[in-house]
Each structure stands twice: as C-alpha cells, then as structure tokens.
Amino acid sequence: MNISRIILFFAMALLALQVMAQPKPKANSILSTADYVKSLKKITDVMVEDVTGPCAAARYYAYTTLAAWQVNALCEHNASANQVLSQLRQYPQLRDLTIGESVVADFASIYTLLRMGEELLPSGYLLEKPKLELIQKAQLQLSPKAFAESKILADSVVKRFVKYALKDGYVKTSGYLRYTPINKPGYWQPTPPAYTEAYEPHWRMLRPFVLDSAAQFKPNPPVVYSADPKSEFYALTKEVYEASRSLTKDQLHIANFWDCNPFFLNQKGHITFGTKKISPGGHWMGITGIACNQKKLDLNNTIRTHALVAMTMADAFISCWDEKYRSNRIRPETVINQWIDPAWRAVLQTPPFPEYTSGHSVVSASVATVLTALVGENFAYTDVVEVEFGVPARKFKSFKHAAQEAAISRLYGGIHFRDSIEDGGKQGENIGEYILKKLALK
C-alpha cells in the first residue's frame, strides 16, 4: 500500500469517527403550519356541531392551544415560552415531567391539541378520526422510540391541563341559581324569535388567564336609559332604527359577515329550524390561521400565535360578560318595539344576553391588538373563514381594520347601541395592550 493510499485511509477513518461523535439530530419535522391550522379547524367543526356558545368556545380554544404550546416549549426547551406560560394564573406544575431525548415537537404538539379537544368538548369523540390519522402518519415516519416518547409527554401534559381547566370555575357555573331577568324599565329582557333564557350569566366567575380579575378593565357606565325623546339614550335608539332602514349593500354584507351566531333560528311559515355557524372566537381563530399561513410562520411560531390569541380572547369574554351582567342593559330590539315600531326586527338575530358592552367589539379589538403585535402592522389579508357557510370573502388592510368593521357591524345588524360598540372597542384594546405588556410580548 503506497503512502497516498495510507493517508487517504486514515483521513476517511478520521472523518467516520467525527461523524459518529456528532450528536444525533432530532427527527425531521413531519408536520407543518398547515397541519396545525387544519387540526384546529377540526376542533372548530366539532364546536359548530355542538352549537358551542361564544364564551365556551373561547375557553376551549384557550386550553387546547395553550396545552399544545406548552408541549412544544418543553420539546424545544424553549425557556422564553416557558417563562411566559409560567405567568398565567394558577398555572399547573410541570417541572417533574420526563422529556425523552427523542421527542418530536411537531407531532407531540398537534397530538396534544387534538387530545385536549377530545377531552374537553362535549362531542370530542368526533376528533378520534383526525387523531388516528395523525398517529398513523407519525408511526410511518418516526422511530418507535420517538413516537412513544412524544406521545407519553403529550398525554402527561393533557392530563394536567384537563385538571387545570376543571379548576377555573366553569363547572361550578352550572350549579348556580338560574338567572331571572329583572322586570324593570331599561333592563335586559329575552328577545324574539325564541325568547331564550340568559346565556352564561355567571361567566364573570371564571378564572382569567392573565387579567387580575374580571372587572380589571371595567368600562365607563353606559348611557343612562330614558324614554324622553330628547334624551341621549333615545337618540341612540333612533340611530339603530334608522340605520337598519337605510343600509347599503356593503353595510348589509358587513352585518352578515360578522354575524358569527352559533345557532340562527330560522322561521319559514309554521316551520322553525336552526342553522349552525361558528362563534366570534371561531372566526378570529380562522383569521389567525390565515395570517400564519400567509406570513409563512414556522410551526413553533404558529402554535405560539394561536395560543396567545386564544388566551386573549378567553380573558376578553370574561371581562365583557362581567360588564354585561353588571349594567344589564336592554337590547335595541326591545326598546324599538316598545317605543317606535312593534313589528321591527333587527337585521341580525338578537343574542340572548344583555347589551352593554358589545362582545364582538371587545373581543375583536383585544385580538386585533395582539395579532398586530405578533404578525405586524397593516397586514393585509383576505378573510375566507365563513365562505363554507355561504358568506362571501372580504379583504382587510389590517387586523385593526377588521376589528373596527366587526364592531360597527353590530350597529348595522341592529343588535347594539353605539356607546356599547365604542366603549367595547376601548375595553378590548386595553385588554390586548395589558396582555402584551404583562407577558412582555412587545
């Protein structure tokens, strides 16, 4: 063997030793942002099937996405994410969890998302099929060790997050006394066509995720109820009535676009039937998915963005419902029928809870504030979330543009007074800004 061959032999041997000494890389990613968004859509579909109300929907989104983010943070050893999550109120202890060396973050995170939905949603069993499809894909592409360790970690986190959710006060609300409307002028009363009883009158009792309390961002009191034709309240009422009678084609589209009524009661002659759609939270989670795909965020940031949006939304509903049942204000439909036109009906179906502040205004403003910080100012996009429900797409210049339109849609729809819309927007912005500052996201 000549010298050149000997040198080549030793060089190749040295290279082989170096390769063997290198730490083995983690398993390649098998899932993407699109897979996460599709999996979350499966959870939304189950909520539509269950006719999940707006408050409950936001709660479910928060726990499912937060659990997925926590698993992702553990798998990636993401100290900054764990720091944010540890600030949430009464957050579960996770330090004793064993994190295998072969865990795969993308599979474990999305598996956690579906498992949480399976555990929390009334019809969570409908997520069995997408969960099994995910498992089959993982088993084909991951080593048995990587699959097992990822699943063990995910199942452990799910178990603790279910306990975390059970302690937020939601279960107790079903045991409180049934709500009885106050039979005095100016107070909320059930509205047609179903005259449904009050929705979630005790939601203010739930534990927020970031806010100190439900009343932390209590808005200014609403305009005082008055039957005097010269009063400010009467002027607000007339505005709703007149606006509904002169809507442009675009204003009518805006009203219907942001309706987000989980259960619309249709009346055709003697036949009554319901139409199921997404909640306001479902709409904003859909927008978040559109933004993550359009921005081409990686899966880790997609998981983070959805969790922060969902958590913000959940706290916004707690804050808004705290005010709703404090001020307990009458709906425009009730007042207009009493004072102006007994046959008048709002363009949108009036939801079964007090008027002030506007829920969509509060939630949309809070989410738009957080999304703007996470995704960017003046982020233009096309909203196709409700195309499947027969609602045409709309283009928006930014998240705040969308939030402003969602708010004014309540005036066009005839279900809110202007002060409720404007004060609700301020309330939502305050909530969003507080969460960004509290969690050091800006």
What pLDDT does residue 8 have? 42
Q: How is the chain split into domains, by residue range? A: 33-169, 206-438
Instruction: Say which residue, 16 or 74, is predicted with more confidence.
Output: 74
Task: Give Cβ neighbours of residue 212 (< 8 Å, ≥ 6 apart).
Answer: none
What pLDDT does residue 29 have? 76
Q: What is the pLDDT of residues 315-337, one digit of tens each?
A: 999 999 999 999 999 999 999 99
270: pLDDT strictly greater than 60: no
Residue 370 and residue 312 in contact, taking contact as beta carbons nearer than 8 Å: yes
12: pLDDT strictly greater than 50: no
CA distance 181 to 355: 13
**Residue recorded with tokens 């957080």:** 370
182: pLDDT strictly greater than 60: yes
Q: What is the pLDDT of residues 143-169, one digit of tens each?
A: 999 999 999 999 999 999 999 999 999
293: pLDDT strictly greater than 50: yes
Q: What is the pLDDT of residues 397-434, one digit of tens each?
A: 999 999 999 999 999 999 999 999 999 999 999 999 99
Count of positions (residues) in the chain: 442
58: pLDDT strictly greater than 90: yes
Mean of the per-residue pLDDT values for the chain? 92
- For the domain covering 206-438, report its CATH number: 1.10.606.20
What pLDDT does residue 273 have? 59
